[in-house]
Chains A and B, each alone.
Chain A
Amino acid sequence: MIELIKHGTKFDFVGKIKYITTFSIILMMVALYGIFTKMNYGVDFRGGAEIQVKFEKNYSMEELRSSLSDAGLKGISVQTIGDDKENTVLIKVQAEEGQLNAISNSVESTLSTRFADNKSDLQKIDIVGPKAGAELRLSGIKAMLWAILSIMIYLAIRFDFRYAPGAVVSLLHDVVVVGGIVAFSGFEFSLQTVAAMLAIIGYSVNDTVIVYDRIREHEENDKTHSKTLRQHINEAVNDTLSRTVLTSGATLLVSASMFFFGGAAIKDFFFAMSIGILFGTYSSVYVAASVTILADDLMKKYQTPKKSSLKKIQA
């Protein structure tokens, strides 16, 4: 038997809750700061045009930029994609509602006249009107809230209501942290990032569910109520530690290979996904457990303690 995590670990996860909670709160605040101030929204949400051009030969970035601004385009940003050898560039232009249709023509004619001896191929054109951008933003947020809500309801039915807040807070934590890191890294926040966040919500809750499952198993086996919830959580996290690390590792193998070798078109997605897997693992171990303990403490304070607070569902 090969064991990455030796069997029978007895890490005191719950004991470190104070530090971890402080760390998580600071992390989330920094992430929120990043989201609100540093976020680099992609064309999907900002509106405007994004045009990917592949030149036949080497081109001068300066000339490209100046030729575009000569053509009267506004808010121009130009960046290379991939290897320098590929001569591929991403041109971003801002535009108002009425002019969107004219943009690609205008860029195309500028390129064909100013770079007449260097043939250019317009590989991809994304044009999003400001109205559509605002709608996409709204529907993205809605989809995330629905995902979290439906997971919360499922957990409340399958487990105990006590467990739901922990899972939800850890999901929010994952989404915020991923958003923050995307903001600080300079990667673009695009539709793909939102898709990755939703996938992370689905993925990260798996870890949490598995830990919860084990906690419940421990509580059920503990007929005499000799142990506290904290002890149960500690044991459950240790029991599942091997699985948690292995699964995250396996998923990360795929996600990281896709990030490094998958090409520019899916980089945004797998950047967010890889970060999400890392922090999702962290949050299921720490954030979910901390909040569950907190919720349990609160409930005990305001309710007369029941004999067994568990809702037992026969598996």
Chain B
Amino acid sequence: MKTNWWVRFSALMFFVLMSILVLLPTVVHLKDNSYYPIKSKINLGLDLQGGLYMIMGIDFKKVFKDEVGTYVRKIESLLKDQDIQMSTLDYNLADDTDPKLAFKISTPASMEKAKAKIKEYFSGLIRITNEGPDTLEIALSSTLKKQIEEQSIGKSIEVIRNRIDEFGVTEPEILAQGMDRIVVQLPGVKDIDRAKDLIGKTAKLEFKIVNSASANELGTWLAKVKAANITFKKGDRFSDYLKNVNDFLKADLPEGHEIAFERIKGQTAQEGEENLIPYLVESSPRLTGDDLSDARVDIDQQNNNPYVSLEFKPQGAKRFEVVTGENIGRQLAIVLDGNVYSAPQINSKIAGGRAQITLGQSGDFNRKMSEAKDLALVLRAGALPVQLDFLEQRTIGPNLGADSIDKAKTASIVGCLLVFIFAIFYYRFSGVIAVATLLLNVLFTMAILIGMEATLTLPGIAGIALTVGIAVDANIIIFEKIRDEIRKGISGQKAFEAGYTQALWTILDANITSIAAGICLLNFGSGPIRGFAVTFLIGSVVTVYTAYYGSKILFELYMNKNRSKEISI
């Protein structure tokens, strides 16, 4: 044999050895403390091990609208300090990517002063888009909008990752997709509803003063709401209901106030309006979740009730002290994502910056405990900067995954065996070489998959099986060319050399076009489909090496041992 052959043969054997070493931990069960250097096993996709896959989107139109509203509230409190009263008018959503909100100044004389103050505090953040003798309309500045767009995704991902890390999922995958999409993959998660709740929670914590002066009118207002047929049905979004109620009662409620509910979870699964306790609260919060430094679960020893204890940052603690001092005797509502969790009475000025959220008196302990844990968790991990909408959700139970693997494995083995039998039957000893190279193809593809830390999905298994079917094509092309040469009466060695030389570009063409399609598939790929693209791509690249170069090495060995005889093809 030529030295050149030995070099190529050693390279092939080296690849085989490496692949076997990489595959070993996946195939054989190794103890965690073994000395074997390679630990990485094949990653099974969600469809094979079960789990949760979801895509969430940010609706920036809505974010901008909320943000404009926030700025108008900020202006309101700014002007209040200057003794200028104002009232908010309606949104102008003619261009919903640039929502505008107008407000009316009660004393037109102070218009100039108001404008100057707004410019002083908010220049660069908002712009005045329209003004009348006593009205101003504002919108967000383009820099602010751009900033919101750029930061929302990154911040949301960070917050979600923190929450999931605390939830304890191994190998979660949280990725941005474009400017307004987040893909979350949680393999192996059993308690899917809890995970979903956790991720979806905006966790916007606010402390608002309750207005008890109008307590008597609350009943009248809510009766009016019910008469107008605004009700909360199971399956609706509670936030939509809340918004409808407040919009409907806008004229009745005292200025700067809104209705919020405490939702009492009854023993039955049915949630109706009777389980809602209404509160009239101030619209603008006195403190928010940003003022917190820590949140923990504690248990009240007296009645064995879990609660969340909050700790404020120094700045927040000072404000908390002032707020409680000014409002002794009133209730302070702790509002999370728009809903009142509890509304304790302020008995004295509270210094030291601590507060607690109780979780209601009824209900079973374990449920309250896990609720308290989740609440503390989201408060600690921070609030999502924007509300995320679920666009796509795929859940796969663990049993289905195992079942799928079994079936796909069996089918792949059946399919490949049929191809092997065909190849050996049709091409005799050359067919044996073809089968050897096909096996190498599968071996290398799996090893590369593990090496790249790619994920094996069900379509991925399909991709490997299909690659075997397609890879045999390269062998067929070579063997048919060799047969052509033999038919022309050319000797074995010459026919073999000519066959391989002629087949090279044909095989390259065929696989390059496959790879092109594979790349398009990879870009299209959502979730599990990507798995197919990955194995199909790796398989196509590997095919060129194994089916052409690999089989040539083996063929040369065969020709060397069998120089005078005819080729078995």
Q: Which residues of A contact B (CB under 8 A)?
A: 1-2, 4, 7, 52, 54, 72, 98-102, 104-106, 109, 121-129, 131-132, 136, 139-140, 142-144, 146-147, 150-151, 154-155, 158, 191-192, 194-195, 198-199, 201-203, 205-206, 209-210, 213, 239, 242-243, 246-247, 249-258, 260-263, 265-266, 269-270, 273, 315
Contact of A106 among B235, B407, B536 (CB under 8 A): B235
Could you tell me the distance between the alpha carbons of A132 and B54 in the complex, rounded to whole angstroms? 11
Taking A99-B235, A132-B55, A315-B504 as contacts, is the C-beta distance between A205 and B415 under 8 angstroms? Answer: no
The 3 nearest A-B residue pairs measured at CB:
A202-B517, A263-B407, A143-B524
Could you tell me the distance between the alpha carbons of A206 and B235 in the complex, rounded to whole angstroms? 52
Could you tell me the distance between the alpha carbons of A144 and B524 in the complex, rounded to whole angstroms? 9
Q: Which residues of B contact A239 (CB under 8 A)?
A: 484
* 9 cross-chain CB contacts under 8 A: A1-B483, A124-B394, A139-B526, A250-B469, A253-B422, A254-B469, A257-B415, A258-B411, A266-B408
Contact of B470 among A100, A194, A249, A251 (CB under 8 A): A251
Could you tell me the distance between the alpha carbons of A213 and B269 in the complex, rounded to whole angstroms? 69
**Interfacial residues of chain B within 501-518, with CB under 8 A of chain A in the complex:** 504-506, 509-510, 512-518
Could you tell me the distance between the alpha carbons of A139 and B407 in the complex, rounded to whole angstroms? 30
Q: Which residues of B contact A199 (CB under 8 A)?
A: 466, 517, 521, 532, 536
B403 at the interface (CB under 8 A from A): yes
B487 at the interface (CB under 8 A from A): yes
Inter-subunit contact A250/B513 (CB<8 Å): no
Inter-subunit contact A192/B509 (CB<8 Å): no
B5 at the interface (CB under 8 A from A): no
B399 at the interface (CB under 8 A from A): yes
Inter-subunit contact A101/B390 (CB<8 Å): yes
Besides A101-B200, A210-B506, 8 other CB < 8 A contacts?
A102-B236, A139-B524, A202-B513, A205-B510, A206-B473, A250-B473, A254-B415, A265-B408
Taking A125-B394, A131-B57 as contacts, is the C-beta distance between A257 and B414 under 8 angstroms? Answer: yes
Taking A7-B487, A250-B422 as contacts, is the C-beta distance between A258 and B569 under 8 angstroms? Answer: no
Distance to closest chain A CB from B465 (angstroms): 5
Inter-subunit contact B400/A123 (CB<8 Å): yes
Taking A242-B480, A258-B412, A261-B414 as contacts, is the C-beta distance between A209 and B513 under 8 angstroms? Answer: yes
Taking A192-B459, A250-B473 as contacts, is the C-beta distance between A143 and B520 under 8 angstroms? Answer: yes
Inter-subunit contact A132/B391 (CB<8 Å): yes
B468 at the interface (CB under 8 A from A): yes
Contact of A255 among B407, B415, B473, B569 (CB under 8 A): B415
Taking A154-B512, A154-B513, A247-B476 as contacts, is the C-beta distance between A262 and B462 under 8 angstroms? Answer: yes
Distance to closest chain B CB from A285 (angstroms): 15
Q: Which residues of A contact B480 (CB under 8 A)?
A: 242-243, 246
Q: Which residues of A contact B400 (CB under 8 A)?
A: 52, 123-124, 265
Inter-subunit contact A247/B473 (CB<8 Å): yes
B: number of interface residues (CB 8 Å): 80
Could you tell me the distance between the alpha carbons of A146 and B426 in the complex, rounded to whole angstroms? 38
**Interfacial residues of chain B within 410-445, with CB under 8 A of chain A in the complex:** 410-412, 414-416, 418-419, 422-423, 425-426
Taking A249-B422, A255-B415, A258-B462 as contacts, is the C-beta distance between A263 and B390 under 8 angstroms? Answer: no
Closest to A245 in B: B476
Q: Which residues of A contact B391 (CB under 8 A)?
A: 128-129, 131-132
Could you tell me the distance between the alpha carbons of A155 and B269 in the complex, rounded to whole angstroms? 63
Could you tell me the distance between the alpha carbons of A270 and B533 in the complex, rounded to whole angstroms? 15
Closest to B463 in A: A199
Could you tell me the distance between the alpha carbons of A72 and B236 in the complex, rounded to whole angstroms? 13
Closest to B518 in A: A202
Taking A146-B520, A261-B414, A262-B407 as contacts, is the C-beta distance between A254 and B465 under 8 angstroms? Answer: yes
B395 at the interface (CB under 8 A from A): yes
B491 at the interface (CB under 8 A from A): no
B477 at the interface (CB under 8 A from A): yes
Closest to B477 in A: A243
Taking A261-B414, A262-B411 as contacts, is the C-beta distance between A146 and B523 under 8 angstroms? Answer: yes
Distance to closest chain B CB from A308 (angstroms): 19
Bitwise interface map of B from 453 to 468 toward A, beta carbon under 8 Å scored 1, else 0: 0000011001001101
Q: Which residues of B contact A126 (CB under 8 A)?
A: 393-395
B146 at the interface (CB under 8 A from A): no
Chain B binding site: helix, strand, loop or mixed by DSSP? helix
Could you tell me the distance between the alpha carbons of A109 and B268 in the complex, rounded to whole angstroms? 12
B206 at the interface (CB under 8 A from A): no
Q: Which residues of B contact A191 (CB under 8 A)?
A: 526, 529
Contact of A1 among B505, B532, B569 (CB under 8 A): B569
Distance to closest chain A CB from B381 (angstroms): 21
B154 at the interface (CB under 8 A from A): no
Distance to closest chain A CB from B453 (angstroms): 22
Closest to A142 in B: B524
Distance to closest chain A CB from B45 (angstroms): 12
Q: Which residues of B contact A201 (CB under 8 A)?
A: 517
Contact of A266 among B459, B484, B518 (CB under 8 A): B459
Contact of A205 among B397, B425, B426, B513 (CB under 8 A): B513
Q: Which residues of B contact A262 (CB under 8 A)?
A: 407-408, 411-412, 462
B472 at the interface (CB under 8 A from A): yes
Distance to closest chain A CB from B313 (angstroms): 34
Q: Which residues of A contact B521 (CB under 8 A)?
A: 143, 147, 195, 198-199
Could you tell me the distance between the alpha carbons of A311 and B269 in the complex, rounded to whole angstroms? 75
B404 at the interface (CB under 8 A from A): yes
Inter-subunit contact A253/B237 (CB<8 Å): no
Closest to A126 in B: B394
Inter-subunit contact A136/B414 (CB<8 Å): no
Could you tell me the distance between the alpha carbons of A142 and B520 in the complex, rounded to whole angstroms? 9
Taking A4-B426, A206-B514 as contacts, is the C-beta distance between A254 and B394 under 8 angstroms? Answer: no
Inter-subunit contact A263/B513 (CB<8 Å): no
Closest to B464 in A: A254
Q: Which residues of B contact A255 (CB under 8 A)?
A: 415, 466, 469
Contact of B390 among A122, A127, A206, A270 (CB under 8 A): A127
Inter-subunit contact A151/B513 (CB<8 Å): yes
Q: Which residues of A contact B269 (CB under 8 A)?
A: 109
Contact of B466 among A132, A147, A155, A254 (CB under 8 A): A254
Could you tell me the distance between the alpha carbons of A127 and B418 in the complex, rounded to whole angstroms? 38
Inter-subunit contact B469/A198 (CB<8 Å): no
Q: Which residues of B contact A270 (CB under 8 A)?
A: 462
Taking A140-B524, A251-B469 as contacts, is the C-beta distance between A123 and B393 under 8 angstroms? Answer: no
Taking A1-B483, A195-B529 as contacts, is the C-beta distance between A250 and B472 under 8 angstroms? Answer: yes
Contact of A202 among B389, B483, B514 (CB under 8 A): B514
Q: Which residues of B contact A258 (CB under 8 A)?
A: 408, 411-412, 415, 462, 465-466
B126 at the interface (CB under 8 A from A): no
Distance to closest chain A CB from B8 (angstroms): 21
Could you tell me the distance between the alpha carbons of A287 and B415 in the complex, rounded to whole angstroms? 29
Closest to B468 in A: A254
B565 at the interface (CB under 8 A from A): no
Inter-subunit contact B426/A246 (CB<8 Å): yes
Contact of B523 among A54, A143, A263, A266 (CB under 8 A): A143
Q: Which residues of A contact B240 (CB under 8 A)?
A: 98
Could you tell me the distance between the alpha carbons of A39 and B520 in the complex, rounded to whole angstroms? 24
Closest to A105 in B: B193
Closest to B512 in A: A154
Inter-subunit contact A213/B506 (CB<8 Å): yes
Q: Which residues of B contact A101 (CB under 8 A)?
A: 196, 200, 390
Taking A261-B411, A263-B408 as contacts, is the C-beta distance between A206 and B397 under 8 angstroms? Answer: no
B374 at the interface (CB under 8 A from A): no
Closest to A145 in B: B520
